[in-house]
Amino acid sequence: MNATRPLPNVGMPDDPDYEEKLAQFEARIARGEKIEPGDWMPYEYRRQLIRMISQHAHSEVVGMLPEGAWITRAPTLRRKLILIAKVQDEAGHGQYLYHAAESLGVDREELIDLLLAGKAKYSSVFNYPTLTWADIGMIGWLVDGAAIKNQTMLAHCSYGPYSRAMVRICAEETFHYKQGKEMITLYAQGTPEQQRMAQDALNRWWWPALMMFGPHDTDSPNTPVLMRWGIKTKSNDTLRQEFIDEIVPEFLEIGLAIPDPELRWDEESGHWISGPIDWDEFWRVVRGNGPMNRARMAARRQAHEEGRWVREAMVAYANRRMAVGS
């Protein structure tokens, strides 16, 4: 997070009452209380939340692009209505999250400016291209499925505004996941070409989806403090494993193959054990060198510029009304 404006300088470890306040704060979290904007919180809690919530907001906004590209090419009116509704939801989810971040002392505008300047992170899964219509179904089932896994956990977050945004998002995202599952299930039982498209989509999205849970716990320096303060309640690897265990049997049931030659069922632990994740690729994409990073940012900037006249018209209208005194 590179906020252009300093955060409230409270909750610093060298404050004289820090230890006492921290003990109260941690006791409140242990009791299951929600922390609200006016409450005392450690500076580091505020900083970590802004970092996470803003990345999450940016992911919703950039996440509109891979799917939005297919609205004009939807095969039926029904599928088109569903896809438009889904992309509208992502726009709304971005707003819920920017507003949750604002409750911590940053402005939406500065966060959006950081995104447009290419200085903000967002989920690297959106830097992969959507090559066929089957990708729309696979994103719903696999990518949104992974996102929901993470968001269901975050709905238990100790920070009230983030938790509330997550509960609302989870309730809405469920249809994103279901429509994708429906589409891929039908394709897997469809013509040989449809089956091939569904398998091809799974082959390309499987690994990026597993990477969405973030680095292994051993390489995730923020995890201990996030779990200590109830921002996260499960680690990256725990969530990833739960997701693999749930989704592998479902893909197998409809006759798709998982593109991981090392994936195996481990009787003893009762888990599906996946092969190694290519973290070099993950970091390459995070650092801006994925297949679509530049195209995504160019599309965002274009949309922002092309919407400028609307924003200006809204302000002109508001000013005029104020002058007329209506």
Partner 1 sequence: MNDTQWPRYEVFKQDKPHKPHEAVGTVHAPDPEMALQNARDVYVRRPDCHSLWVAPEDAVFKMTAYELEQDPNWHVETIPEDAPEQTYLVFTRQHHRRSMVAASHVGEVQARTPREALRRAMEQAAWTSKPVYLWWIVPQAAITASQEEDAPSMFAPAQDKTYRDQSYYKGILFGKHLQKKHAKSSPTGKKAS
List the interface residues with partner 1, window 137-166 (CB under 8 A): 155-156, 160-161, 163-165
* Residue with smaller CB distance to partner 1, 298 or 316: 316
Piece in contact with partner 1 (CB under 8 A), picked from 117-125, 142-150, 246-254, 283-291: 246-254
Instruction: Name residues contacting partner 1, limited to 267-286 (CB under 8 A).
Output: 267, 272
* Residue with smaller CB distance to partner 1, 109 or 278: 109
- Give least dist CB 313 to partner 1, A: 10
- Give least dist CB 273 to partner 1, A: 10
Instruction: Name residues contacting partner 1, limited to 112-141 (CB under 8 A).
Output: 112
- Does 71 engage in binding with partner 1 (CB under 8 A)? no
Piece in contact with partner 1 (CB under 8 A), picked from 52-60, 66-74, 252-260, 293-301: 252-260
Q: What is the 3-state secondary structure (H, E, C) of the chain?
A: CCCCCCCCCCCCCCCCCHHHHHHHHHHHHHCCCCECCCCCCCHHHHHHHHHHHHHHHHHHHHHHHHHHCCHHHCCCHHHHHHHHHHHHHHHHHHHHHHHHHHCCCCCHHHHHHHHHCCCCCCCHHHHCCCCCCHHHHHHHHHHHHHHHHHHHHHCCCCEHHHHHHHHHHHHHHHHHHHHHHHHHHHHHCCCHHHHHHHHHHHHHHHHHHHHCCCCCHHHCCCHHHHHHCCCCCCCHHHHHHHHHHHHHHHHHHCCCCCCCCCCEEECCCCEEECCCCCHHHHHHHHHHHCCCHHHHHHHHHHHHHHCHHHHHHHHHHHHHHHHHCC
* Residue with smaller CB distance to partner 1, 218 or 326: 326
Residue 265 bridge partners (DSSP): 272
* Residue with smaller CB distance to partner 1, 52 or 197: 197
Which residue in the set 6, 16, 32, 276 belongs to the binding site for partner 1 (CB under 8 A)?
32
- Does 321 engage in binding with partner 1 (CB under 8 A)? yes
Piece in contact with partner 1 (CB under 8 A), picked from 36-44, 59-67, 68-76, 224-232: 36-44
- Does 220 engage in binding with partner 1 (CB under 8 A)? no
- Does 242 engage in binding with partner 1 (CB under 8 A)? no
Instruction: Name residues contacting partner 1, limited to 174-203 (CB under 8 A).
Output: 174-175, 177-179, 181-182, 185, 195, 199, 203
